Amino acid sequence: MKLATQLHLEGRVIKAGRAEGEALVSPAPMGFLGGVDAETGIVTEKGHPLEGQCVTGKVLVFPTGKGSTVGSYVLYQLAANGLAPAAILNAESEPIVAVGAIISDIPMVDQLPLERIHTGDFVLVEGARVTVRPRLPADSQG
């Protein structure tokens, strides 16, 4: 058996930047207006797979955005409150979250194979490059 290997992915830059953190993966699209509380960073959408979880400091992974265009400004408010995710990774981004990430200086990449990233993995985002270090049951910091 080999050591856990790092996974190197390359996507499309929506907002250039460098960030790292633990992955928080949603299989469902995310909306920010009425979906995430800008005062706490907690997902509040009823029945959402991430309901009750906090996005702050996480590398937030979801297929695409949804919902009201005002969601861009909710992301901005999250960032202004110091509660933004560290980075956002999408399969296919749409304008609301993309604009929100840009105006909030949150590094964002799309066109990634999200099925290869799991909640708890360590993720490093550098421009278009995304490095994933899978979390193992006995992970001893690599």
Partner 1 sequence: MLPNPKPEIQNRIRLTAEEGAWLAGEAGPAIRRAMEIVAALAQIYGAERLTPVASVQISGVSYRNIGAAGLAFLRKWADEGASVRVPTTLNPAAMDLEAWAEQGFDPTFATQQQAVIAAFARMGVGGAGGESGPFPTCTPYLVGNVPRLGESVAWAESSAVAYANSVLGARTNREGGPGAIAAALVGRTGAYGLHLAENRRATLHVRVRVALRTISDYSALGALVGQRAGSRIPYFEGLPLERGAPLWEENLKALGAALAATGAVGVFHVAGVTPEALAGPVLAPAHETTTVADLAPGYAALTDAAARPALIWIGCPHASLAEIALVAELVRGKRLRLPLWITCARPVKAAAVAQGLAGDIAAAGGRLYADACLAIAPVRDLGFAAVMTPSAKGACYLRNLAGVSARFGTLEECIHMAVTGGE
Among 98, 106, 117, 130, indicate the residue that binds partner 1 (CB under 8 A): 98
Q: Does 13 bind partner 1 (CB under 8 A)?
A: yes
Inter-residue contact 124 to 6 (CB < 8 Å): no
Show contacts with partner 1 in window 30-69 (CB under 8 A): 38, 69
Q: Could you tell me the two tokens for 124?
A: 């490093």
49 vs 91, which CB is nearer to partner 1?
Answer: 91
Rounded to the nearest 10 degrees, how much is the dihedral formed by the CA atoms of 118, 120, 123, 128?
30
Among 6, 27, 70, 139, indicate the residue that binds partner 1 (CB under 8 A): 70
Backbone angles phi, psi at 90, to 5 degrees: -125, 160
Q: Does 20 bind partner 1 (CB under 8 A)?
A: yes
Q: Does 23 bind partner 1 (CB under 8 A)?
A: no
User: Would residue 68 show up in a list of annotated catalytic residues for this protein?
Assistant: yes
